[in-house]
Amino acid sequence: MNDSFKIPSDVFDTDLLCFLNPNRFEYDLTIEKGKLLHKICICKISSFGTQVHIEDENFTEEEYNIIISNDCQNSINVEVKARCCDILKKREKDKRAIIIKASDAYLEVFRSTGDMDYLERAASIRSFKQVNNDDFLKVALTEISTKTLKYPFWLSNIVKVLLKSYSVEKLSSLKVEIEKCVQEKRESKEYSKERDYIDILYLLTSITKQEQHRLKALSFETEADDIWNNQGENTFYPTLPDLYHNAYQEINEINSIEPDIHKRIREKLVSANKYFIEILSKAGISYKMPFSEEEKRRIEKWIADEKWESPLDFIALLRNIPFASKENIEQYMDISRKGSVLSSMMGTNRLDDKGNTIGLDNPENSLRTEAHIYYRQKILYTLWMCIDKAANMKLLMEEDMLFYIMKNRMPYFLQDEDRLIFFAKGLMSGFNKDFMTASHILIPQMKWALRSIAEAHHGSLVKLEEERQEEATLGTILKQLENVMHEEIRFEMESFLQSGIDVNFRNKLSHGLLSSFEVMQYGIFLWWLCIKLFFNIDRIVVVK
């Protein structure tokens, strides 16, 4: 870099950005160079952070010329050198030399600062085999062993990067060290880090996917047990149910392999939820309570007493499972208002796993949604009992038989045999307990059916006067079904399918935001809604 713009060799990261602040410089040319280098050095170089990644930042031809004319790629400041080489590699036909130069410079910055993102970039910029060799891997593994092992977040990122160019076998020296880390974190009760190291062992194929689920379930369980066994009287531990729930989700993935652990964790989860609700109730705060064991036994008895002789009897039973009535919902809301005055004055703010707000609602709608969730639990339990009984009886539903039954019961909104094929395929998947497939087939069919019902009463929902004619959204369709459907049934569908403070099943499924466990858990309810919509439309629609 020319003499008019010298950067000290010993400033990095934030100190470097402060040095490059354009307000420090007096002359236009110097300010221009400072702005450009500031733009380059503020880019993130790892998977962590909110800034634009250096790979994604765009530069003009003039900016490339400023870098080259000032020889920034050979700056005495190795971070500037690394980043400018990183930028200029886009212009090179043979990128190998400049990539190696950038990688070596990033590695030098890492050794000077200890900041892990420089080590990650030193590896990630070499993410193709032509510039990777055993010499670099040896250096990278040495740096990992001496400086990175205690940071599982960064270790995981760097291992993922190295695995793009090197085989798992070449990284095998890390396995023993990481196994020691798992044991150390378990003994020191740093459970979150223990689980991070378990995930890295899976990346390195040191353990199987099933073993990963088992070890993480046991880690969550042990952490929760430590809290449970050492809790103070009338003390609120908000993370306790979540820890048992996380343990349950992990072990549920291998339920058939570890049934004893699954049963044990499930019992602990139920106990933790009950205690959690008791603590909240003492503060006058209501919580979405699971329905009682007595009600479960009543449902089980009802299902056991039902006599099924054919698949038609099974469909009839599913059709006759009722929605929550308006009286049910109002009764729940009245009891909740009387039992917890504080909660009845509060709305709902729902967060995702990262703490982002994904749903807001006012106190009245929040309480109404809570009531629907409560009664939905009963329906879900009933549905699973029905499905299990049908499986135990080996009551098989043939697809041709189902199609024939449905073809002879076509509702008024469905006069299209092609559409019927989709409905039959989706419902058949549910009868086979494949609710993942059923959900993906039935979600668009349900929207189509609801739109057809709305258009049967209101005419086309497409606004022809607008410049672009687009299909109505699900929210618009459900709004049009007010005074067409029974209101609590319409609200149930709206809440379940697209409410931010409820399951939000349709939106989350469409955007890939549901785990396989959640799709199976709630997919059966969607499947049942479609059965009700197809076979019981006369009981759902108020206006014929």
- What's the CA gap between 277 and 111, in Å, rounded? 51
> Looking at the domain assignment, is residue 284 inside a domain?
no
161 with 303, same domain? no
At 96, which amino acid appears? R
Helix or strand holding residue 254 (H, E): none
> Looking at the domain assignment, is residue 312 inside a domain?
yes
At 265, which amino acid appears? I
Q: Which runs of E-coded beta strand occur in 286-426?
A: 348-351, 357-361
> Looking at the domain assignment, is residue 466 inside a domain?
yes
Instruction: Give the single-character DSSP code of 472.
Output: P
- What's the CA gap between 119 and 107, in Å, rounded? 6
User: What is the torsion angle, in degrees rounded to the nearest 10, for the CA atoms of residue 97, residue 99, residue 102 and residue 108?
Assistant: -90
93-121: buried (b, 16+ CB within 10 Å) or exposed (e) per residue?
Answer: eebeebbbbbbbbbbbbbeeeebbbbbbb
Instruction: Give me the residues paired with residue 280 across strands.
Output: none
> Looking at the domain assignment, is residue 195 inside a domain?
no
Boundary (domain end) residue, out of 166, 187, 222:
166
pLDDT at 388: 85
> Looking at the domain assignment, is residue 264 inside a domain?
no
Q: Which domain holds residue 368?
A: 293-539
159 with 307, same domain? no
19 with 156, same domain? yes
- What's the CA gap between 37 and 22, in Å, rounded? 10
Report the length, in residues, of the chain.
544
Boundary (domain end) residue, out of 134, 166, 198:
166
Number of domains in the chain: 2
Q: Is 359 helix (H, G, I), strand (E, B) or coil?
A: strand
- Give the Å distances, CA to CA, from 382 to 173, 386, 437: 52, 6, 21
pLDDT at 472: 82
Q: Scanning the structure block, which residue is given the tokens 């950067």?
A: 7
pLDDT at 346: 45
pLDDT at 246: 92
- Which tokens belong to 128? 């193709």
> Looking at the domain assignment, is residue 462 inside a domain?
yes
Q: Which runs of E-coded beta strand occur in 243-356?
A: 348-351
- What's the CA gap between 242 and 240, in Å, rounded? 5
Instruction: Give the single-character DSSP code of 171.
Output: G
Ordered per-residue pLDDT tens for the chain, 544 residues: 444 467 889 999 989 888 887 676 655 556 788 888 989 998 998 877 778 899 888 999 999 999 999 899 999 999 999 999 999 998 888 888 999 999 999 999 999 998 888 999 999 898 777 777 888 889 888 988 888 888 898 899 899 988 888 889 999 899 999 999 999 999 999 999 999 999 999 999 999 999 999 999 999 999 999 999 998 776 777 788 889 999 999 999 998 999 999 999 999 988 887 777 666 555 544 445 556 778 888 888 888 888 888 888 889 999 999 998 889 888 888 777 665 544 444 444 443 443 343 344 456 777 888 888 888 989 999 999 898 888 877 777 888 889 888 988 888 887 778 889 999 999 999 999 999 999 999 999 999 999 999 988 888 777 655 555 567 888 889 999 998 999 999 999 999 998 877 888 999 998 888 888 889 889 999 999 999 999 999 899 886 5
pLDDT at 444: 93
> Looking at the domain assignment, is residue 186 inside a domain?
no
Helix or strand holding residue 451 (H, E): helix 435-458
Contact between 106 and 122 under an 8 Å Cβ cutoff? The reply is yes
Boundary (domain end) residue, out of 118, 151, 166:
166
pLDDT at 93: 86
pLDDT at 233: 72
> Looking at the domain assignment, is residue 29 inside a domain?
yes
- Which tokens belong to 271? 């106990």
- Predicted TM-score (pTM) of the model is 0.54
Residue 536: CB partners within 8 Å, gap ≥ 6? Answer: 319
Contact between 535 and 529 under an 8 Å Cβ cutoff? The reply is no
